[in-house]
Structure 1
Amino acid sequence: MKSTSLCWLNGRLLPTEQALIPVNDHGLLYGDGVFEGIRFYRRRAFRLQRHLQRLQLSARAIALEIPLSSDELTAVIERLIDAFADDDGYIRLMVTRGAGALGLNPKSCSQPNVIAIADQLTMIDIGQQAGARLIVSSVRRLPADGLDPRIKSLNYLNHILAKIEANHAGADEALLLNAQGRVAEGSADNVFIVRNGRLLTPPCSEGALEGITRELVLQLARDNGIETSEQPLGVYDLYAADECFLTGTGAELIPVASIDCRAVPCCPGPVFQGLQQAFRRTIDQECGGER
């Protein structure tokens, strides 16, 4: 089956397999760079400006100057979407430090690389299952005093290790705890639980990414009269939840069927189903018309 993956690389559109960067790019050598994942529906990028804002903040935090303005990046994304084969898809937008001398020092990297890849993405293939099977990983989320979770850097190694652990356990996804043993997030998604009708999720100070889908779900819940709370959660809270689900740009909304082989009572539960419907309505509203 021929790949439809398409890449924009420093001003050129080309099939992804033909896109090349130097092997001494510090993004490859050291994970030195930032990225965003962006969904598009009906050839319209969803919440694009929010993603570009977060990209700029991540870049500023690592002292990386993006060579394109937000308007120019918007034009890049729109051009890529227009050229892509499907109406719906996923874009990975990356800015690397660029080619430079061997060694950690970025001073020799004079020109960042801007890369955008359009493709299809399924974060968790739950197939005919009623929901995703989770484990609590032994891999801990990096603490904020080591690497702030608000920076979407190219280095996801600890999350990859957690995902490998999930693979070995036959699970779909892994949840990472922070250094204090409280719930942070999934390997590539935020986590929510429902208990006694209340929607709970860890605050970003616990090690969770400031997810764009996360913030939308919280707003949709409030708009629909659901009590919400961003509060520290322990593993017990996961086991005692009435519902659990994951959110993310790549994940969208995914119900959870079990955590560490403990069945979640409601999957998909009524709160999840209502929020999923509201989420789809928001996509229809924001991506339903002409650009």
Structure 2
Amino acid sequence: MNGHLRPEQEAVIPVMDHGLLYGDGVFEGMRFYHRRPFRLAAHLQRLADSCSAIRLTLPYTRERLAEAVDEIIGAFPEENGYLRLMVTRGTGPMGLDPASCTRPNAILIATRLEMVHPELRQEGIRLVIAATRRLPADGLDPRIKSLNYLNHILARMEATQAGADEAVLLNSQGRVAEGSAENLFIVRDGLLATPRPVDGALKGITRGIVLELAAGLNIPAREAPLTPYDLYTADE
């Protein structure tokens, strides 16, 4: 935290940090395998872009952040894991105006995270289309990885209450945006399709890799406006 490696119990932020008070901040979530971060440069670029988009100063250079990533991975007891890198607006008086906030806080967490149980990767998961909608792109650009994930949390709660494993979020026009914590792809007649960022999809790092791999394998792939009809009629 802020350049110092600390155990979880000692890594604390002030209660007046605007990241806690208002969700004012951004984050990146990334995997590491065999103690090597996956696509670190791309994640750091997106973090910098998210900071710029909300006019938040990134308190460390990308080189220093990369060093911190190596340091925390080296201290983690397992070869594989998950990293959460967050930048908050910092401490300031109560009120929405961040002008008086002090230096932003940078927090890096290493932990375990299993998004989907291994058995479900083989069997498939149960989805519901949530009543909770994705925030509109003209309200908050989906390319910003904001700390405020409340609508995604509400959608996941809907899935749990319905006995499903995951929720699909639509945008305000009824087009498919994304899952509560992942991008979506469908296959129909040999075409691989994924929702467009303009429809609320995050430009996910793994999403981009899938599109790159498809191009390299000559698999037709594109971003497309998708509706629930497309999900119901997809081949996979």
Q: TM-score range by the shorter chain?
A: over 0.9
Runs (4+) of structure 1 moved beyond 2 Å? 124-129
Distance 1:183 1:64 in 2: 30
Using structure 2 for the length normalisation, give the TM-score: 0.97
* Displacement of 1:141: 0.7
* Displacement of 1:126: 5.7
Choose from 30, 33, 58 the match for 2:25.
33
Q: Which residue of 1 aligns with 2:203?
A: 210
Q: Which residue of 2 aligns with 1:263?
A: none
Choose from 71, 75, 86 the match for 1:83.
75
* Displacement of 1:17: 2.6
Q: Which residue of 1 aligns with 2:166?
A: 173
Q: Secondary structure at the match of 1:191?
A: coil
1:134 matches 2:124 = no
Q: Which residue of 1 aligns with 2:144?
A: 151
Q: Which residue of 1 aligns with 2:45?
A: 53
Count of aligned pairs: 235
Using structure 1 for the length normalisation, give the TM-score: 0.79
1:233 matches 2:206 = no
Greater strand content: 1
Written as runs of structure 1 = structure 2, the 5 A alignment for 1:1-291 is 9-125=1-117, 127=119, 130-243=123-236
Distance 2:55 2:102 in 1: 13
Listed as ranges, the gaps of 5+ residues in structure 1 are: 1-8, 244-291
Distance 2:2 2:101 in 1: 16
For 1:99, the aligned partner's letter is T
Identity among equivalent pairs (%): 61
Q: Secondary structure at the match of 1:14?
A: coil
Q: Secondary structure at the match of 2:103?
A: coil
Query: Structure 1 residues 126 and 235, CA, compared in 2 at 3 Å: closer, same or farther?
Result: farther
How large is the RMSD of aligned CA atoms in angstroms?
A: 1.0
Distance 2:159 2:118 in 1: 14
* Displacement of 1:237: 0.5
Distance 2:166 2:178 in 1: 11
For 1:100, the aligned partner's letter is G
* Displacement of 1:40: 0.5
